[in-house]
């Protein structure tokens, strides 16, 4: 017998993408599910959109939040409220800007049950439209694939754990055992921390690329990309100055320095051996990135401009570190958020 599933979608000012998300979830070829949409104090037309969908389909439940308690990040509170009102044996937390293939829920549940998986997360395929998205998103996700290798995360003997909050499916019993989102109410990286706690509690974790099952357009503009990743990147490096310096050195030596050498050769006389070395490094790096971007599902057309994306990414890394280490306030969707002790 197929288990019941509660799909929980937090929505704060998501009028731009929520309709597509809900339509794709309602089109799932799986019978026993409820869809809880948590309206997190939206000030745009999100409440109207949810009300319209609720009147059209009884599987949708509209949950309206009117306040944010002290000590909580907005998303954690919305997810906790959704889970508290859920009835399913499985909980699926997914973002309002995602799109889900009709077979995704059924396939993932079947896979999880067959392999005795307790928490399953996927990294959705990234939709990149603008130039800034096509330059930065592949660079960021290529780096994340080094920081969080699926083979280590999915190894029960390895302590490393991670998840992607855009798609996390977890057994309700395990969710309650680890204390749910209430135990991580102040965490910005709630997805990674939820996966870590689940794995430490003995739950079987599976993290994998979506490969067509789920896709998302995270950001539309350079400003959105910058602000969105700034709140996460340094935390994803475990707030480690050593990791920051190591990644920065890697970017400078492999991406920026060879390009700078070739550009400087236009105005200055540079030793031929150095020019040849820089050229070989650029070609080798470009070839490697073409393979990597293709594997991650990104358009390889923009790999030619990877030094620009890498330079922007380097600035973003340091900006994120300065925000967190400098104690600056981090604003997301009109609210302050920060890691709490």
Whole-number Cα distances in Å, 243 to 8, 118, 327 = 34, 31, 19
Burial 206-244 (b: 16+ CB within 10 A, else e): bbbbbeebbbbbbbeeeeebbbebbbbbbbbbeeeeebb
Q: Tell me the three state secondary structure of residue 9.
A: strand
Beta bridge partners of 218: none
pLDDT in tens, 269-293: 878 888 889 889 989 999 999 999 9
Measured distance CA(248)–CA(70) in Å, rounded: 36
Q: 10 Å Cβ neighbour count for 337?
A: 19
Per-residue pLDDT, 331: 78
* Arithmetic mean of pLDDT, 305-310: 92
DSSP tag of 35: E
Per-position b or e across 17-43, b if 16+ CB within 10 A of its CB: bbbebbebbbebebeebbbbbbbbbbe
Looking at the DSSP bridge assignments, the partners of residue 171 are 90
pLDDT at res. 340:
39
User: What is the rounded average pLDDT of the residues 47-60?
Assistant: 93
pLDDT of residue 177: 97
The dihedral over CA atoms of 228, 230, 235, 236, expressed in degrees to the nearest 10, equals 70
What pLDDT is recorded for position 92? 98
Residue 185 is classified by DSSP as: T
| Percent of the chain whose pLDDT exceeds 90 | 83
pTM of the model: 0.92
Predicted confidence (pLDDT) per residue in 109-135, tens digit: 999 999 999 999 999 999 999 999 999
Q: How far, in Å, CA of 78 to CA of 181, rounded?
A: 9
Provide, rounded to the nearest whole percent, the portion of the chain with pLDDT above 70: 98
Distance of CA 6 to the CA centre of its chain: 21
Task: Round to whole Å and give the CA distance between 91 and 69.
Answer: 23
The pLDDT of residue 338? 56
Q: What's the rounded Cα separation, in Å, for the pair 135 and 19? A: 27
Average pLDDT, the chain: 93
Cβ 3 vs Cβ 88: under 8 Å: yes
DSSP secondary structure, 187-244, as one string: -S-HHHHHHHHHHHTT--EEEEE-TTSEEE---SSHHHHHHHHHTTHHHHTTT-HHHH
Give the C-alpha separation, 226 to 133, whole Å: 10
pLDDT digits (tens, 9 = 90+) for 9-53: 999 999 999 999 999 999 999 999 999 999 999 999 999 999 999
Q: pLDDT tens digits, residue range 146-179?
A: 899 999 999 999 999 999 999 999 999 999 999 9
Kindly state the average pLDDT of the residues 186-196. Answer: 95
Tell me how far apart the alpha carbons of residues 34 and 8 are, in angstroms, rounded to a whole number. Answer: 9
- Long-range pairs, 316-319, Cβ under 8 A, ≥24: 316/136, 316/140, 316/226, 316/229, 316/230, 316/233, 317/233, 317/234, 317/244, 317/247, 317/248, 318/244, 318/248, 319/226, 319/230
Judged against a pLDDT cut of 50, whether residue 101 lies above it is answered with yes
Phi, psi (rounded to 5 degrees) for 123: -95, 105
CA geometry: angle at 218 spanning 317 and 205, to 5°? 80
């Amino acid at each position: 017998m197929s288990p019941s599933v509660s799909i929980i979608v937090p929505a704060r000012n998501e009028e731009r993408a929520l309709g597509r998300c809900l339509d794709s979830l309602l089109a799932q070829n799986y019978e026993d599910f409820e869809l809880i949409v948590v309206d997190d104090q939206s000030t745009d037309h999100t409440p109207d959109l949810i009300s319209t969908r609720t009147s059209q389909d009884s599987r949708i439940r509209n949950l309206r939040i009117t306040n944010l308690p002290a000590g909580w990040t907005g998303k954690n509170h919305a997810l906790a409220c959704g889970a508290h009102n859920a009835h399913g044996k499985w909980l699926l937390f997914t973002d309002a800007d995602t799109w889900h293939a009709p077979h995704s829920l059924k396939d993932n549940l079947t896979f999880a049950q067959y392999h005795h998986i307790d928490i399953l997360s996927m990294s959705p395929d990234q939709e990149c439209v603008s130039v800034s998205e096509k330059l930065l998103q592949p660079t960021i996700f290529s780096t994340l694939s080094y920081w969080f290798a699926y083979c280590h995360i999915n190894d029960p003997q390895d302590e490393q754990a991670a998840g992607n909050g855009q798609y996390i499916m977890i057994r309700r019993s395990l969710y309650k055992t680890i204390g749910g989102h209430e135990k991580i109410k102040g965490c910005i990286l709630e997805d990674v921390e939820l996966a870590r706690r689940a794995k430490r509690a003995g739950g079987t974790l599976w993290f994998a690329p979506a490969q067509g099952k789920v896709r998302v357009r995270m950001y539309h503009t350079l400003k959105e990309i910058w602000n969105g990743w700034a709140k996460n990147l340094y935390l994803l490096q475990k707030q480690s100055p050593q990791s920051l310096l190591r990644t920065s050195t890697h970017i400078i030596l492999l991406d920026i320095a060879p390009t700078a050498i070739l550009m400087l050769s236009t105005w200055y006389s540079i030793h031929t051996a150095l020019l040849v070395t820089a050229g070989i490094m650029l070609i080798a790096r470009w070839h490697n990135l073409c393979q990597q971007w293709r594997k991650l599902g990104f358009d390889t057309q923009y790999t030619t401009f990877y030094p620009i994306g890498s330079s922007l990414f380097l600035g973003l890394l340091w900006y994120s570190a300065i925000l967190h280490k400098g104690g600056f306030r981090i604003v997301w969707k009109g609210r302050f958020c920060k890691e709490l002790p």
